Amino acid sequence: MAFYAWRGRNARGEAVQGQLDAMTENGVADQLMAMGVSPIDIRVVREEAKTTQAGWFERLNRKPVVLEDILVFSRQMYTLNKAGVPILQAFVGLEASNTKPAMVDLLKDVRASLDQGRELSAALARHLDVFGAFYISMIRVGEMTGRLTEVFLRLNQHLEFERDVRERIKQALRYPMFVLIAMAIAVVILNIFVIPVFAKVFAGFHAELPLITRGLLGFSAWMLAWWPLLIGGTIGAVLLARAYIRTVQGRYNWDARKLKLPIVGDIVLKATLARFARSFALSSQSGVPLVQALTVVAQTVDNAFIGGRIEQMRDGIERGESISRCAAATGVFTPVVLQMIRVGEETGELDNLLFEIADMYERETDYHIKGLSAAIEPILLAVIGVLVLLLALGVFLPLWDLGAAAQGRGGG
């Protein structure tokens, strides 16, 4: 991409000038015309290059484009399209007003692709890792049907729903993870700093210690002796687990096991199915063919196991089977949901009923999250109580025995 200096006149006939980057001079001219400027002179200029170190430092500290950025982009594009602003001019304005470097670079690249004559969906497809197949598929449908403004509105609403679902899942997992980490830290501190102090005291008793005390002292001594191996093994296990989850089979197995976790698994399942139902309804309502919609939606649910079941649905529909029968074969939907799908298929109201299913799953997810603390707290309190009891018995039983022995000698 080259940088061009330009001179021209605006709608009031005033002389204006500036610089723009584009693939060709025609691209610069198109941008100027979109801004209401009649170009007089366009010439290539050289921009002073940044040092390699500065570029490396900038890349290291650059924040990537996240879901929230795409949500804001969709809302802005809906507003600009509704106001009748041309696509190219809209990107010029968004690029000028954005302050996030990664997003500015993305908008520049998309605008450059538009300069070359590509469609918006093709330009966005160059950033598939950012927008995703579902988003790009919806934009393509909007271009073909002339309903791009409506598609941007629906995508904005859909991304807001996606954000809320992800926050619900994080909220469901945050509390138990925090408590488990706190308990692990407490156990480490007790075994490294507290129990060794009592071990020195008990060593002066020269008497047989209770079984619980010997167990505590033995575990503490093992941690003190093997802590490098323990830390290295823990880090190695975490790295191996993450590497395994990055594989196709590993991700599938982990996502399947997540759904079977006590208490939390049901929340993850319902949140994922809510995401599927809303994505499928939005695709179908926008005119995306069923097979193509299921192919794209399978990649958006963020769960490889559920994605595999959706692809199973797609294969069944390709064979000519009904949607309700294919959904029942997956084994992940409740009988009530299957009945709603069957009714929607028979009445031609499948889109609306899928939105209802998404709302139902969303309400159930909220209900389970609100009851999560009430369900987990008794279990955590019981575990903490057992740990405190073991520690108290292990520390105080020898002291009680020593006191009883001293009283016996005094009485004798």
- How high is the mean pLDDT of the chain? 82
- Are the beta carbons of 272 and 306 closer than 8 angstroms? yes
Say if residue 271 is in the same domain as residue 334.
yes
* Rg from Cα positions in the chain: 31
Residue 105 in domain? yes
Q: What is the pLDDT of residue 48?
A: 43
Say if residue 272 is in the same domain as residue 363.
yes
Q: How confident is the model at residue 295 (pLDDT cuts 50, 70, 90)?
A: confident
Residue 15 has pLDDT above 80, yes or no: yes
- Percent of the chain surpassing pLDDT 90: 19
Q: What is the pLDDT of residue 137?
A: 78
Residue 103 in domain? yes
Query: Which residue bears the tokens 């399978």?
Result: 298
Residue 289 in domain? yes
Q: What is the pLDDT of residue 52?
A: 41
- Residue with the bigger pLDDT between 212 and 300: it is 212
- Are the beta carbons of 37 and 56 closer than 8 angstroms? no
What mean pLDDT is predicted for residues 40-53? 62
- Residue with the bigger pLDDT between 411 and 369: it is 369
Residue type, 278: R
Phi/psi of residue 95, nearest 5 degrees? -65, -40
Q: How confident is the model at residue 288 (pLDDT cuts 50, 70, 90)?
A: confident
Closest CA to 55 of 3, 101, 111: 101
Residue 381 in domain? no
Say if residue 17 is in the same domain as residue 97.
no
Residue 209 in domain? no
Say if residue 270 is in the same domain as residue 352.
yes
The model's pTM: 0.64
Say if residue 264 is in the same domain as residue 334.
yes
Q: What is the pLDDT of residue 49?
A: 46
- Are the beta carbons of 274 and 362 closer than 8 angstroms? yes
Residue 110 has pLDDT above 70, yes or no: yes
- Are the beta carbons of 75 and 156 closer than 8 angstroms? yes
Q: How confident is the model at residue 328 (pLDDT cuts 50, 70, 90)?
A: very high
Phi/psi of residue 88, nearest 5 degrees? -65, -45
Query: Which residue bears the tokens 């692990």?
Result: 184
Say if residue 8 is in the same domain as residue 105.
no
Q: What is the pLDDT of residue 50?
A: 46
How many Å separate Cα 68 from the centre of its chain?
11
**Final residue belonging to a domain, choices 138, 160, 182:** 160
Say if residue 71 is in the same domain as residue 24.
no
Residue 69 in domain? yes
Q: Domain holding 284: CATH number?
A: 1.20.81.30
Measured over the CA atoms of residue 374, residue 376, residue 378 and residue 380, the dihedral's sign is: negative
Say if residue 102 is in the same domain as residue 152.
yes
Say if residue 153 is in the same domain as residue 70.
yes
> What's the first-to-final CA gap in the chain, in angstroms?
99
List, for residues 52-97, the tens digit of each pLDDT value. 444 555 555 678 889 899 999 999 999 999 999 999 899 999 998 8
**Final residue belonging to a domain, choices 129, 160, 191:** 160
Q: What is the pLDDT of residue 187?
A: 83
Residue 363 in domain? yes
Say if residue 70 is in the same domain as residue 11.
no
What mean pLDDT is predicted for residues 95-122? 88
3-state secondary structure the chain: CEEEEEEEECCCCCEEEEEEEECCHHHHHHHHHHCCCEEEEEEEECCCCCCHHHHHHHHHHCCCCCHHHHHHHHHHHHHHHHCCCCHHHHHHHHHHHCCCHHHHHHHHHHHHHHHCCCCHHHHHHCCHHHHHHHHHHHHHHHHHHCCHHHHHHHHHHHHHHHHHHHHHHHHHHHHHHHHHHHHHHHHHHHHHHHHHHHHHHHHCCCCCCCHHHHHHHHHHHHHHHHHHHHHHHHHHHHHHHHHHHHCHHHHHHHHHHHCCCCCHHHHHHHHHHHHHHHHHHHHHHCCCCHHHHHHHHCCCCCCHHHHHHHHHHHHHHHCCCCHHHHHHHHCCCCHHHHHHHHHHHHHCCHHHHHHHHHHHHHHHHHHHHHCHHHHHHHHHHHHHHHHHHHHHHHHHHHHHHHHHHHHHHHHC
Q: Which domain holds residue 28?
A: 2-44
What is the domain count for the chain?
3
**Final residue belonging to a domain, choices 141, 160, 179:** 160
Residue 51 has pLDDT above 50, yes or no: no
Q: How confident is the model at residue 411 (pLDDT cuts 50, 70, 90)?
A: low
List, for residues 156-202, the tens digit of each pLDDT value. 988 888 788 778 777 767 777 887 888 888 888 888 888 888 888 77
Closest CA to 41 of 18, 12, 14: 18
Say if residue 356 is in the same domain as residue 307.
yes
Lowest mean pLDDT among 55-69, 251-265, 396-410: 396-410
Residue 326 in domain? yes
How many Å separate Cα 208 from the centre of its chain?
55
